[in-house]
């Protein structure tokens, strides 16, 4: 279990992020066309997982836009993963000009959040994800993780981008 804060108030996740050097857990997520997506769909590519509670919050929107800005200059797939419905994610991306980051929803399963140790278990955001970044190499090994300690703050973009 990880301890993070929401505006200074302590909350907890169900576990820890995957270990650096270990195999990335598989996932079952949904894209904006309602297709199932798994880790294997991005085989042979570096992957940056920008895990956010909801794109309908200012910090989540900012991080998604910033990773989108870097996506063109990086040889990696940038995924934003949230509890939002695919329709809302599509509307956000279209409205904000986010066209390089791939939005994926936990609509059909919370197993992603559980397997990656980011499921918030208590407090007002219980049931959705903490803010985190996981970078996975082309061989599906975890090469970088960050659990953002204060959910209302942005991740360390430079540290994450150094690993892709």
Instruction: Report the distance separating Cα 84 and Cα 52, nearest Å.
Output: 10
Q: What is the pLDDT of residue 32?
A: 95
93 is catalytic: no
* H or E element that contains 96: helix 86-96
From 4, 17, 39, 60, active-site residue: 60
Residue 17 and residue 118 in contact, taking contact as beta carbons nearer than 8 Å? yes
Q: What is the pLDDT of residue 64?
A: 87
pTM above 0.95, yes or no: no
Please name the fold of domain 3-161: Glutaredoxin (3.40.30)
Among the listed residues 127, 50, 19, 15, the one whose alpha carbon sits nearest the alpha carbon of residue 4: 15
Q: Which alpha helices (DSSP H) does the chain contain, by range? A: 58-71, 86-96, 111-115, 157-161
The pLDDT averaged over each successive group of 10 residues in the chain (164 residues) is: 91 96 97 96 94 89 84 82 94 88 94 96 93 96 96 92 90
Beta bridge mates, 110 = none
Residue 61 and residue 72 in contact, taking contact as beta carbons nearer than 8 Å? no
CB atoms within 10 A of CB 141: 15
Q: What is the pLDDT of residue 73?
A: 66
């Amino acid at each position: 279990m990880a301890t993070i804060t929401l505006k200074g108030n302590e909350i907890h996740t169900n576990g820890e992020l995957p270990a650096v050097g270990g195999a990335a857990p598989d996932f079952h997520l949904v894209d904006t066309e309602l297709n199932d997506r798994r880790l294997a769909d991005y085989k042979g590519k570096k992957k940056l997982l920008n895990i956010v509670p909801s794109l309908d919050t200012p910090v989540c929107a900012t991080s998604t836009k910033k990773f989108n800005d870097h996506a063109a200059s990086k040889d990696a797939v940038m995924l934003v993963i949230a509890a939002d419905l695919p329709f809302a994610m599509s509307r956000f991306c279209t409205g904000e000009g986010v066209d390089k980051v791939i939005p994926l929803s936990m609509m059909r399963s919370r197993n992603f959040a559980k397997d990656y140790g980011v499921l918030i278990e208590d407090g007002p955001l219980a049931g959705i994800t903490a803010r985190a970044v996981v970078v996975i190499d082309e061989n599906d090994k975890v090469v970088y993780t960050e659990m953002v300690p204060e959910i209302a703050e942005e991740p360390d973009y430079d540290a994450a981008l150094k690993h892709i």
